[in-house]
Structure 1
Amino acid sequence: MQSFVDFLNSIIWSPVLIYTCLGAGLFYSILTRFVQIRHFSEMWRLLFSGKSSTKGISSFQALAVSLSGRVGTGNIAGVAAAIGFGGPGAVFWMWVVAFLGAATAYTESTLAQIYKEEDNGEFRGGPAYYIEKAMGQKWYAILFALATLLACGVMLPGVQSNAIGNAVETAFGSGAMVDTAMFGALEVSKVITGAFISIVLGFIIFGGVKRIAHFTQIVVPFMALAYIIIAFVIILLNISEIPAVVSMIIGDAFTPMAGAGAAIGWGVKRGVYSNEAGQGTGPHAAAAANVDHPAQQGLVQSFSVYIDTLLVCSATAFMIIITGAYNVHGPGEAYIVQNLASSVAANSPEFTQLAIEAAMPGLGKPFIAFALFFFAFTTILAYYYIAETNIAYLRRTIKVPGMMFALKVVLMSAVFYGCVRSANLAWAFGDAGVGLMAWLNIVGIIIIFFISKPALKALKDYEEQQARGVETYTFDPVKLGIKNADYWEQRLARRNGKQDSETTDADGKPINPTA
């Protein structure tokens, strides 16, 4: 299985996809005139504006849900893997992916808002919806929905639970072994951890998107802040090392110690896995937000990429490099840099645990186990919501009873399985899922640009209203030449109808002509 998945990843994650991710980010950065820089202050303002409703969640809740998908194992174990296989220079390419990816995140999230729908009293949207409505290719939309269902419902949750299991094992020991008919010999600590995660997960996902949003808006900011504070303290204790660390990251980015292209390849791969820009996961949460204009949620989601990579991933990278708690793998079994025992896996949170442990003895292992539990658990919740949204899309064409219930059971099973299996296999499955979604989504948003440019039209419209100093933003897709934005057309019609009823009598004559 490991060999097959590795072969699959060698095809999916070819240099073509790596440079397509970078190219798409640069493409949309130029087209939006680097929206990720120009509207930075507006992103911050919008973060705390907007309110939830019976149909949608607030901008901050949408940010929390999307951040719960972005801030996860990739920020701790993923950064370690990037350094372990690509050298410190891989961190530079993670920064590049974040900067360029912020424009991609704006584009895909704005598209999700433009083409969202109301489904059983909740907002739904994402790549499958905007591919069908803006690109006009339902078969491609169904293909994306199926790929996302496979990735987020089966492949990716196991990566998160596996990291939790490994962190718990490192912090508290593996315990006794237990023989099972299905999985063979398993560590008791991982069995207990997997069962606990699955049970708590079931309680939350059976409560719907509102329960997920309320949980993540509390947990994600708290854990991200605690993690960054710990990293900041470690950096301050080693402040004299910062110039050398930055020099190493930038120098290795262009002369990669792990071989030509390794830094770029691992930096982009883990960057996309971590911040998810272009992957197509973030737009699902973006579509659920209750906002006055689609561009607003696009800007908020663009900001979330900065939080994920430039803050949380950088915090991890600096801790690892400052303390020297890493190895760099070379070809075959060789090491280019070996500061730790060969038994320490790069595809695990151990680099980060050992880094904190070196700076703060007694804290590193349990703290990372605790942080990873919440980071990874909220990411699993985000994966569930994404998979649920794509089932909601597929149900319009494929009428199979019990699909939502089956998703919950399969996801809980995948979480338990991932927790007790090896890290390399879990990450290989995760990479395949991320790569498949990224291919389909990035190709889709580029084709949509050449068809109608809806995300750019929305940005221009928002900037014009912003320049006029309007108090309440409006969005008229028909006026902008955007087709099939049914929700926004209906919303504007309801709003205009309400205004007409308040200013005219039963015969349509003005109630107060001088007003």
Structure 2
Amino acid sequence: MERLLNWVEYISDWLWGPPLIILLTGTGIYLTILLKFFQFRYPLYIFKQTIGSVGKKPKGEGTVTPLQALTSALSSTVGAANIVGVPAAIMFGGPGAVFWMWLVALFAMAIKFSESVLAVHYREKNEGEYVGGPMYYITKGLSMKWLGVFFSVALMIELVPSIMVQGNSVSASLAETFSFNRLYTGIGIAFLIGLVVIGGIKRIGKVTELAVPLMAGAYIGAGFLIVVMNLSSVPAFFSLIFSNAFTSSSAFGGFAGAAVAETVRWGFARGLYSNEAGMGTAPIAHAAAMTDHPVRQGFWAVIGIVVDTLLICTTTAFVVLASGVWTAENAASDPGALAAAAFRSYFGPVGGYFVSVSLVFFVLSTITVVIFYGVKQAEFLFGRLAGHMIKFVYLGAVIIGAAGGAKAIWGFLDLALVFILLPNILAVLLLSRKVRSLYDEFFTSEKYYLKDIGQQDDAYERDEKVNNL
């Protein structure tokens, strides 16, 4: 068994190295070109149509508000990758890895935008709830139901060990910080999550609409406070990142040094893993949103990457680099603890508790939403009853993981993700012309973009509207 696990780990490490980095980055660049660099051309417009529209009545039909769809999607991406993954990228790829994390996020916006546009366009109404995602746009858009079924089965199965790992990380953190019993912690967590997920996407949306902004805001706010306390370090922070992005990093302290290739690899890998662009999970949440056009909801998916990678990951990077904890002896042996150590260096023991509690809440929200994703797969495959039944399977997985069970299958997680990612990326590429068609429809129609900017006196020159398309 140990030999098998070693082989699985070797194959997973290789796949999540150059092969998938090249595939995902290439897809992001292709879609960015196909969609005319929209994320660089319309940042102000995108912001106004998303964050700037909060509080206004949503346009069109759907089950949850666009903000609730975004916060639900963010719940599955904002988590351990932001707090643990960023220090790992710095320790193994050097400070320059943060630059490549930023860069890949800009192109990943085109992937996540395309996924969400397709999810809304091909969604269905299932007993009063709007449902969609890769399994629907693969089946309806490509007429390849077998591939849609493959994706759905792969995701439904993959979520079991994934939830176990998440449950384990929560119970381990609470056991270490507050000496809680891990089994009882797992039961308590499963009960609280069950109260939310049994209520469906409407209840999940209401909970995440409050919890995610609060969690992310508190974490980013604490990081901003550290920035204010270290304003003189800000230029050095950016200088360190940019100077190491294109040159090998020297070894010192707990850092072993890194070649440029390793810097790029770790930055790209952590960036893609953090925002989950191409995984096909976030579109499941966005498909339920109230919207008058798929492209409008696609803008919310772009904001998701801004929050997840450009804000939260950057906060972690600044705190870790500015504090200097990454240069300590043996820092590379446990990079996951660096964020807590960094906050502790500024706020004392309270800082360490803050990071532990933040991680717990991030992971709890992740479990809540990924269970919803699994439920949607069961409904797609077997109907609504199966969707209700599998909730209890996933809640049981939380308890087993929290108690420390099933460690032998954890090594299969990254490999399982490949079987989800590949069919989704294939579908997005094959349907990319449909995305472009919807994009052109939105930006040239008097009902959408042209109407929007006609109501904004300070936004754009009207004669530029069609010429740029």
TM-score, normalized by length of structure 2?
Answer: 0.86
Q: Which moves more between the two structures, 262-271 or 14-23?
A: 262-271
- Alignment CA distance shift 1:322-1:163 (3 Å): farther
Tell me the CA shift for residue 460 of structure 1: 1.0
Identical aligned pairs, as a percentage? 33
* Equivalent residue number for residue 198 of structure 1: 190
Q: Is the 8 A contact 2:99 2:241 kept in 1?
A: yes
Q: Is the 8 Å Cα contact of residues 54 and 122 (structure 1) preserved in structure 2?
A: no
**Which deviates more, 284-293 or 14-23?**
14-23
Contact 1:164 1:369 in 2 (8 A): no
1:115 counterpart = 2:122: yes
Residue 17 of structure 1 is aligned with which of 13, 16, 20? 20
Q: Is structure 2 residue 58 aligned with structure 1 residue 68?
A: no
Name the structure 2 match of 1:90.
Answer: 97
The CA RMSD measured in Å over matched residues stands at: 2.7
Alignment of 1:209-220 (within 5 A): 209-220=201-212
2:393 paired with 1:410: yes
Paired position in structure 1 for 2:112? 105
- In the TM superposition, what are the counterparts of 1:272-421 in structure 2 within 5 Å? 272-326=272-326, 338-340=328-330, 345-346=334-335, 348=336, 350-395=337-382, 403-421=386-404
| 1:127-177 Cα shifts (integer Å, max 9, x gaps) | 1110111122111111111111122x21322343333234324433xx4xx
2:35 is the counterpart of 1:35: no
Gaps in structure 1 of 5+ consecutive residues: 176-187, 327-336, 473-515
- Letter of the 1:84 partner, please give it: M
Question: Per-residue displacement from partner, 1:206-247 (whole Å, max 9, x unpaired)?
Answer: 121111111100000011111111001112222222222222
Which whole-Å deviations, capped at 9, do the CAs of 1:62-115 have from their partners, x for residues lacking one?
A: 111111112122111122222233332222222122111111111110000100
Structure 1 equivalent of residue 216 of structure 2: 224
The higher radius of gyration belongs to 1
CA contact (8 A) 1:59 1:291 kept: yes
Counterpart Cα distance in 2 of 1:238 and 1:471:
40
Does the Cα contact within 8 Å between 2:61 and 2:289 map onto a contact in 1?
A: no
Q: Which runs of 5+ in 2 are unaligned?
A: 249-256, 455-469
Kindly indicate whether the alpha-carbon contact (under 8 Å) linking 1:12 and 1:436 is maintained by their aligned counterparts in 2. Answer: no
Q: Which has the higher helix share?
A: 2
Partner of 1:432: 415
Cross-structure match for 1:129: 136
CA distance 1:411–1:269, change in 2 (3 Å): farther
SS in 2 for 1:363: helix
Q: Which residue of 1 aligns with 2:458?
A: none
Give the distance between the partners of 1:394 and 1:141, measured in 2 at CA. 10
Q: State yes or no: 1:446 paired with 2:429.
A: yes
CA distance in 2, matches of 1:170, 1:223: 21
Deviation at 1:253, TM superposition (A): 2.8
Shift of residue 341 of structure 1? 5.8
- String of CA shifts for 1:397-453, please: whole Å, max 9, x gaps: xxxx9532442233223323333449997874443343332222112211222xxx1
2:238 counterpart (224, 227, 246): 246
Tell me the CA shift for residue 53 of structure 1: 9.0
1:359-378 CA deviation, whole Å, 9 max, x = no partner? 11121221112211221111
Note closer, same or farther for the CA distance 1:130–1:54 as it changes in structure 2 (3 Å cut).
Answer: closer
Distance 2:405 2:231 in 1: 36
What TM-score, normalized by structure 1, do the two folds share? 0.79
Indicate if the aligned counterparts of 1:167 and 1:368 stay in contact, CA closer than 8 A.
no
> What is the rounded CA distance, in whole Å, between the counterparts of 2:290 and 2:313 in structure 1?
29
Following superposition, the deviation at residue 15 of structure 1 comes to: 1.2
Would the aligned equivalents of 1:51 and 1:57 in 2 still touch at CA under 8 Å?
Answer: no
